[in-house]
Amino acid sequence: MEFELPEEHRILRQTVRDFCEREVRPHAREWDREERFPHEIVPKLAELGLLGIKIPVAYGGSAMDMLSYAIVVEECARVDGSLALTVASHNGLGTGHVLAFGTEAQKQRYLSRAVTGEWLAAWALTEPGSGSDSAGMQTTAVRDGDDWVLNGTKMFITQGSVGGFTVVLARTNKAVKPQRGITAFIVEQTTPGYRASKKLEKYGCRSSDTVELTLENVRVKDEARLGEVDQGFYDTMSILDGGRVSIAAMALGLGRGALGMAVRYAKERSQFGRPIADFQAIQWMLADAQTRLDAAELLIHRAATLADQGKPFSQEASMAKLFASEVATAVCSDALQIHGGYGYTREFDVERHLRDAKLCEIGEGTSEVQRLVIAKHLLA
């Protein structure tokens, strides 16, 4: 039994569910197998308003709340983790950063193109040598007259090669503590010197675009600076709070999708002359999965609701992400177990869900980092 939602959210859930069943489910396995970003789905996502979930109507967006964002990502993930990752990162990170800290001119230029899908957004924080310790970045942006010149390498960047623009975090001041000397810039992906130097082959979320980026003397005007000079790291932390709610929602959707498959399979598959759903061992796995997913949903909805009320939600976002992602991996693994040997083949989607779910324990801060954040709040 799903958590009872206000009517507008129930309608949204049903609309996105119908869309994903119709437009995504028939292709998701093939996209994953081919490790191909499905460009053809982008205009359809835009038509449904899913590329401008929180963007105001003035820029062509859907002006929805954080709870809606979580529901959309959950419903995409029920069918396809890669698509959920695309929708989550585009809305939460790339466009989210412009929406929260951009100038009016930046919003006009980037958000209006983001909502139509003309320009998908990417967001580049991680580097080969700095992941959890993201402030340890080496990419630099140096002032040169009216311009800034960026140099460095970014790692694991979603939409880094299929997007229109990338929000890049770079060090602008080496004389201060790392957190105090980082600035964000909007770099259009056609800018000379911006290059997707490597497409990464992945365990899961294989039809989401993930690349290593090389920035070689990338020159941008000061108008491309996003937020205040040297304040980028602090802005980034607040962007990640929202992002973590969406990754939690992605985990929830993957878990719910896998559980649905397991319930169906348990009723259809017979051994020892009875459906395997008759065996208590199977029933317990199903019961635990449902209970844990419902608990994850409550944590996610609490974090999203706090955000929508304008209250602090950093700790709650980390708790939701930590719990939902670890639950999703466990639920998907049990769902595969219920499918026996067939679950281990690519003939069933359950193995794809398990592979996709593992990302949720890593992206936008690993489970270990979420525990650090939660403990920091507790001990403050």
Ligand X SMILES: Cc1cc2nc3c(=O)[nH]c(=O)nc-3n(C[C@H](O)[C@H](O)[C@H](O)COP(=O)(O)OP(=O)(O)OC[C@H]3O[C@@H](n4cnc5c(N)ncnc54)[C@H](O)[C@@H]3O)c2cc1C
Cα 232 to Cα 125: distance, rounded to the nearest angstrom? 10
With 0-12 CB in 10 A as exposed, 13-18 as middle and 19+ as buried, what is 362?
middle
Please say whether the beta carbons of 39 and 31 come within 8 A: no
State how far the alpha carbon of 298 is from the alpha carbons of 194, 303, 305, in Å.
Answer: 41, 9, 10
Q: Nearer Cβ to ligand X, position 60 or 363?
A: 363
| Beta-carbon contacts of residue 337 (< 8 Å; ≥ 6 apart) | 285, 343
* CA terminus-to-terminus distance, the chain: 37
Q: How near is the Cβ of 168 to ligand X at its closest, in Å?
A: 9
Q: How near is the Cβ of 64 to ligand X at its closest, in Å?
A: 22
Active-site residue identified among 216, 351, 364, 368: 364
Q: Nearer Cβ to ligand X, position 168 or 252?
A: 168
364 in catalytic set = yes
Residues in the chain: 380
Cα 166 to Cα 157: distance, rounded to the nearest angstrom? 9
Q: Nearer Cβ to ligand X, position 13 or 371?
A: 371
Q: Minimal CA–CA distance to 94: which of 66, 73, 113?
A: 113
Q: How near is the Cβ of 186 to ligand X at its closest, in Å?
A: 15
Q: Nearer Cβ to ligand X, position 297 or 318?
A: 318
Point out the residue whose Cβ comes nearest to ligand X. Answer: 131
Q: How near is the Cβ of 1 to ligand X at its closest, in Å?
A: 32
Q: Distance from CA of residue 5 to its chain's centroid? A: 22
Please say whether the beta carbons of 23 and 41 come within 8 A: yes
Q: Token digits for 355? A: 């592979």
Cα 232 to Cα 80: distance, rounded to the nearest angstrom? 32
| Residue 194 exposure: Cα atoms within 13 Å on the Cβ side | 23
Cα 248 to Cα 299: distance, rounded to the nearest angstrom? 9
Would you tell me which residues interact with ligand X (CB under 6 A)?
89, 123-126, 131-132, 156-158, 202, 205, 210, 359, 362-366, 368-369
Residue 177 carries which side chain, given as an amino acid letter? K
Q: Nearer Cβ to ligand X, position 134 or 282?
A: 134
Q: Nearer Cβ to ligand X, position 120 or 277?
A: 120
Q: How near is the Cβ of 103 to ligand X at its closest, in Å?
A: 23
Q: How near is the Cβ of 300 to ligand X at its closest, in Å?
A: 19
Catalytic positions:
364
